[in-house]
Amino acid sequence: MASATWSQTFTMAKKRTAYRVWLSEVMLQQTQVQTVIPYYLRFLTKFPNVTALANASLDDVLHAWAGLGYYSRARNLHKTAILIRDKFHGKFPTSLESMIALPGIGRSTASAILAFCDQQTLPILDGNVKRVLSRLHAISTVPQKNEKELWLLAQHYTPEKTDIIDYTQAIMDLGAMICTRHSPKCTECPVAQECLAYTRNETALYPVKAVKKSLPIKKIFLMVLINKKMKFS
DNA sequence: AAGTCGTGGCA
DNA sequence: TTGCCAAGACT
């Protein structure tokens, strides 16, 4: 198979520990699965648990991260590992608030860790879930304005009693494999009949693109000047 | 609350 | 080729 799902790669490692889920979620922030996989496997070999990561030097961590981009993620990863070692007796906290308080862990990442590792019924809202929900409900507001609505919808669909792990993985995989950004495979989608974007034949319209602020005329003028200067220097 | 952070895939 | 943007979080 040319491209494995993340869940397939992940389950190659034996168990979803908080450390492994945390590491994977951070690496996957704004970074595609195929890029992350080799880094993730190498990282786990080099730093098998949170204590090993905390005991490593920042330089070693940054070196293992080199090429992944967004290096503040690596710095925060190391910071958090040290916090877990020194302030949390080597164990991750199990409340959403204390999880979010850790460097580099926002609401979605925190919820993902707690859902996967502690079966807590918490909604996640990453790029995949946002795309799925945007199409399912044909959300026409711009991304800058629809954050609250998307979180409410994410919460609405999150199962209260059972299957939180399966659900969380499923909706992410749906976004990654079927409800893709370009040419989604709607014929394979289990919720196509309930999807407003699909039934209206408008999947390409969602999620609505961000509106870019137009550049001030003054700034454009400056850029033109700089551009001319570069050509003659 | 808008800007920033990195790299690679894709049209 | 260029621009857009991806399993976000921080300031």
Question: Which structural domain range is residue A147 located in?
Answer: 122-210
A107 and A182 share one domain: no
Question: pLDDT, tens digit, for every residue of A69-120?
Answer: 999 999 999 999 999 999 999 999 999 999 999 999 999 999 999 999 999 9
User: Residue closest to B4, CA→C1'?
Assistant: A70
Q: Quick one: pLDDT band at residue A11, thresholds 50, 70, 90?
A: low
Angle between helices A33-46 and A58-65 (to 10 degrees): 150
pLDDT for residue A123: 96
User: Residue closest to B6, CA→C1'?
Assistant: A69
Contact of A66 with A39, CB cutoff 8 Å = no
Q: Is A25 a catalytic residue?
A: yes
Burial A63-85 (b: 16+ CB within 10 A, else e): ebbeebeeeebbebbbbbbbbbb
What DSSP element (H or E) covers A81?
Answer: helix A72-87
A102 and A131 share one domain: no
pLDDT for residue A224: 58
Average pLDDT over residues A42-55: 97
3-state DSSP assignment of residue A55: helix
Question: Could you tell me the CATH number of the domain that includes residue A50?
Answer: 1.10.340.30
pLDDT for residue A217: 58
Q: Is the pLDDT of residue A1 over 60?
A: no
A174 and A203 share one domain: yes
In a domain, A94, yes or no: yes
Q: How far is the CA of A182 from the C1' of B10 (A)?
A: 9
pLDDT for residue A6: 76
SS (H, E, C) A95-138: CHHHHHCCCCCCHHHHHHHHHHHHCCCCCCCCHHHHHHHHHHCC
Residue A134 structure tokens: 């945007």
A54 and A165 share one domain: no
Q: How far is the CA of A119 from the C1' of C4 (A)?
A: 36
pLDDT for residue A210: 82
Question: pLDDT, tens digit, for every residue of A195-227?
Answer: 999 999 999 999 998 876 665 555 555 555 555
3-state DSSP assignment of residue A185: coil
